[in-house]
């Protein structure tokens, strides 16, 4: 029976579309995996998948044209090797009428619960070689503090920091602590001023931490993503209106309408201020003044 906490395959595919462009040119080295940068995200629906089997977690085309299968594990079990072999066979099945992939990489990212695992699995006639990353090596609190301070200072996060924020919940030990970290990461991501980067991180958290997110948390994250996208549309409309009217009165009215709309979506004041500064070239004081005025 399907676990209710899992993201449905349809929703995972929808989220993958959001992630596709944003993952381009990102590096997996921040997770401890020394492979070329991501060139493209690939669909994870493999041929002939059985109803009682899980889809793989992530599938990427890398810059050297190799294919990277990525799975996340919180424990070491030899049965996992059978799962990986099935993934590889089905990927080869997908390409049987085309040119075979240059190389298939089987990458396993272990959560902080795992300290070590065998790099190879041998059945005599074949040997499966794994590329592994152990998230216990990431200093969770240090990374958390660094990202938090940058967001408080309204500084943009680097690509590596965005990738780290996505994976941070899995750097904690224990399922309950991971669940708590997911919620904390979502609240942190909401402070990202750039709506595209915010949506990328929130979608990444939802997909990467799929196995530990409960249904209510998944629903909440998807709602935040939806509100972010709605807010972006409102911001774009306000920007277009300002360009078309070109008059101070219309610009002020547009900003006030925008502030009211964003506040109705329960978007934090600091996020609204950051967006006003970015979209309307307001100073911090000017943005805060508009927000305070709408609260009176």
* Annotated domain spans of the chain: 9-213, 228-295
Which contiguous run of DSSP H or E holds residue 158? none
- The answer to whether residues 206 and 57 touch, using CB atoms and an 8 Å cutoff, is no
Q: For each of the chain's 296 residues, which pLDDT tens digit applies?
A: 344 444 443 444 445 555 666 788 888 888 889 999 999 888 776 655 443 445 677 889 999 999 999 998 999 999 999 999 999 998 888 887 778 888 999 999 999 999 999 999 999 999 999 999 999 999 999 999 999 999 999 899 999 999 999 999 999 999 889 989 998 999 899 899 888 888 888 888 887 887 788 788 877 777 777 766 655 555 555 545 544 544 455 677 778 877 877 777 677 888 888 878 877 788 888 888 888 887 75
Would you call 196 helix, strand, or coil by DSSP? helix
Q: What pLDDT, on a 0 to 100 scale, did the predictor assign at position 262?
A: 76
**pTM for this one?**
0.69
Q: What pLDDT, on a 0 to 100 scale, did the predictor assign at position 53?
A: 47
Taking residue 96's Cβ as centre, other Cβ atoms within 10 Å add up to 8
Q: What pLDDT, on a 0 to 100 scale, did the predictor assign at position 212?
A: 80
Distances (CA, A) of 294 to 171, 193, 235, 254, 288: 41, 20, 17, 13, 10
CA geometry: angle at 153 spanning 150 and 159, to 5°?
Answer: 30
């Amino acid at each position: 029976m399907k676990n209710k906490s899992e993201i449905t395959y349809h929703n995972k595919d929808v989220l993958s579309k959001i992630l596709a462009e944003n993952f381009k040119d990102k590096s997996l080295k921040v997770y401890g995996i020394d492979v070329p940068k991501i060139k493209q995200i690939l669909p994870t629906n493999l041929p002939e998948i059985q109803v009682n089997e899980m889809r793989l977690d992530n599938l990427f085309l890398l810059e050297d044209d190799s294919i990277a299968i990525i799975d996340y594990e919180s424990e070491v079990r030899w049965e996992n090797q059978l799962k990986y072999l099935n993934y590889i066979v089905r990927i080869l099945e997908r390409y049987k009428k085309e040119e075979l992939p240059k190389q298939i990489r089987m990458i396993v990212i272990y959560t902080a619960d795992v300290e070590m695992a065998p790099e190879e699995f041998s059945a005599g006639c074949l040997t499966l070689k794994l590329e592994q990353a152990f998230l216990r090596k990431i200093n969770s609190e240090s990374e958390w503090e660094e990202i938090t301070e940058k967001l408080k200072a309204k500084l943009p996060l680097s690509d590596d920091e965005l990738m780290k924020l996505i994976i941070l919940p899995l750097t904690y030990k224990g399922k309950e602590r991971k669940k708590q970290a997911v919620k904390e990461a979502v609240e942190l991501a909401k402070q990202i001023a750039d709506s595209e980067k915010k949506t990328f991180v929130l979608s990444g958290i939802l997909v990467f931490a799929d196995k530990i997110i409960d249904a209510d948390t998944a629903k909440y994250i998807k709602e935040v993503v939806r509100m972010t996208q709605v807010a972006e549309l409102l911001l774009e409309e306000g920007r277009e209106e300002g360009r078309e009217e070109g008059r101070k009165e219309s610009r002020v009215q547009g900003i006030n309408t925008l502030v009211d709309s964003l506040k109705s979506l329960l978007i934090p004041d600091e996020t609204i201020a950051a967006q006003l500064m970015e979209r309307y070239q307001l100073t911090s004081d000017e943005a805060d003044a508009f927000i305070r005025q709408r609260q009176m």
